[in-house]
Amino acid sequence: MAQYWWVNHKQTFRHEIERQYLWSPKAKKNSTRSVFYDNMRGASPGDLVLSYADGAIRFVGRIAEFAFTAPKPTEFGKTGSNWSNEGWLLPVFWTPLLPAVRPKDLLAVLAPLLPQKYSPVQPATGNGNQGVYLAEIPKAVFDAIVAVATVDYVVLASGGANSLTFQTVQEQLDDEVERTVAADPALDSTSRTAIIQARRGQGTYRRNVEANEKSCRLTGITNPALLIASHIRPWRSCETSSQRLDGMNGLLLTPDADLLFDRGFITFEDDGAVRVSPRFARDDLRRLGLGEPTWKLLGFSEPPRAWEPNGFDVKQREYLSYHRSNVYIGEATR
């Protein structure tokens, strides 16, 4: 079931509309959590969002993809100088709402419909609430706004591919990090080569991973030719060269499992059990051959010893904690 959202974005409005996204820090400047930033992770593809800035709603957006970790957009410049550099990027396809709607003009209709907690605007005045970014709203609020304007729902539903997909943004981030590594005068040529090779799970990094892992944690496959040395804390998100080369920061995964893990549709508990995102379509899981344990699909009456869940090392658990908090796609907000 689709959810409905309202974003208050004054300073970043132009950039976010032109580039088709929303971006927020992961936490407030005092490092405490914000429900409005957490909502970035609660939004799902297909959800609809109203864009509010300077007293009016001028655009309606369709969430194009789940939010993912990304640095503060460079086009923000000095805006949000107190924000941390790492945040959530949520791809959105925006289309105009014509004419623009001023919530103050509909206050008699909107006031009783607005959520009592975490409302994006004040029911008494229609002014935007300070500190609110992405707020969930009832469908009735969304319907009341669009009822007095025109939305091209055909374009909204199928128009324009968003260029800020997870794959393209992560490639850009990896490229930026690689350029930094290549230009780092503190690294000798051997270290530089090893770190760059680690981006693709090769060289020293792969050997380090193979010292700890012998099979795919999801499928149990042991053939090295079918396994990718995948970072737990993504290569682009590592804070040091040591983390990028640390074998404890890696798993051996088949290509499908690697993609699911990197995108956050699966993660692992400290005891080795697989956690599948509740927001990953179970039909797609079955199409991947992962609808039930692989050992059952292959006719085994019980899991071969190599496929039994094995707990992780203490250092691996530290990396997995990051993955579960920053990569894994958990429950949607309600």
Other C-beta atoms closer than 10 Å to the C-beta of 334 total 7
Are both 244 and 146 inside the same structural domain? no
In a domain, residue 333? The reply is: no
Q: What phi and psi values does residue 72 have, to the nearest 5 degrees?
A: -60, 130
d(CA 253, CA 41): 25
3-state percent breakdown (helix, strand, coil) of the chain, nearest 5: 35, 20, 45
In a domain, residue 332? The reply is: no
Q: 296 versus 218: which is more confidently predicted?
A: 218
Are both 59 and 142 inside the same structural domain? yes
Contact 114, 123 (CB under 8 A): yes
Q: Exposed (0-12), middle (13-18) or buried (19+): which is 331, by Cβ within 10 Å?
A: exposed
Flag whether pLDDT at 85 surpasses 60.
Answer: yes
Q: Which stretch of 15-29, 120-134, 291-305 has the lowest confidence by average pLDDT?
A: 291-305
Are both 140 and 37 inside the same structural domain? yes
pLDDT at position 160 is: 60
Over residues 132-145, the pLDDT tens digits come to 999 999 999 999 99
Contact 275, 241 (CB under 8 A): no
The CATH number that applies at residue 139 is 3.10.590.10
pLDDT at position 297 is: 47
In a domain, residue 126? The reply is: yes
For residue 103, whether the previous peptide bond is cis, meaning omega lies within 30 degrees of 0, is no
Tell me the pTM: 0.87
Other C-beta atoms closer than 10 Å to the C-beta of 10 total 12
pLDDT at position 227 is: 97
Over residues 230-265, the pLDDT tens digits come to 999 999 999 999 999 999 999 999 999 999 999 999
- Domains in the chain, number: 2
Flag whether pLDDT at 299 surpasses 60.
Answer: no
In a domain, residue 331? The reply is: no
> Judging by DSSP bridges, how do beta strands 4-8 and 134-137 pair with one another?
antiparallel
- Domain residues for the domain of 213 are 168-326
End position of a domain, from candidates 161, 187, 205: 161
End position of a domain, from candidates 161, 194, 227: 161
Structure tokens at 230: 């995948």
Picking from 28, 57, 29, 64, the residue whose alpha carbon sits closest to that of residue 43 is 64
In a domain, residue 45? The reply is: yes
d(CA 226, CA 222): 8
Are both 134 and 75 inside the same structural domain? yes
Q: Which stretch of 32-46, 210-224, 304-318 has the lowest confidence by average pLDDT?
A: 304-318
Are both 50 and 132 inside the same structural domain? yes
End position of a domain, from candidates 138, 161, 184: 161
**CA dist list (Å): 249 to 193, 234, 280, 311:** 18, 9, 24, 15
Over residues 37-81, the pLDDT tens digits come to 999 999 999 999 999 999 999 999 999 999 999 989 989 988 878
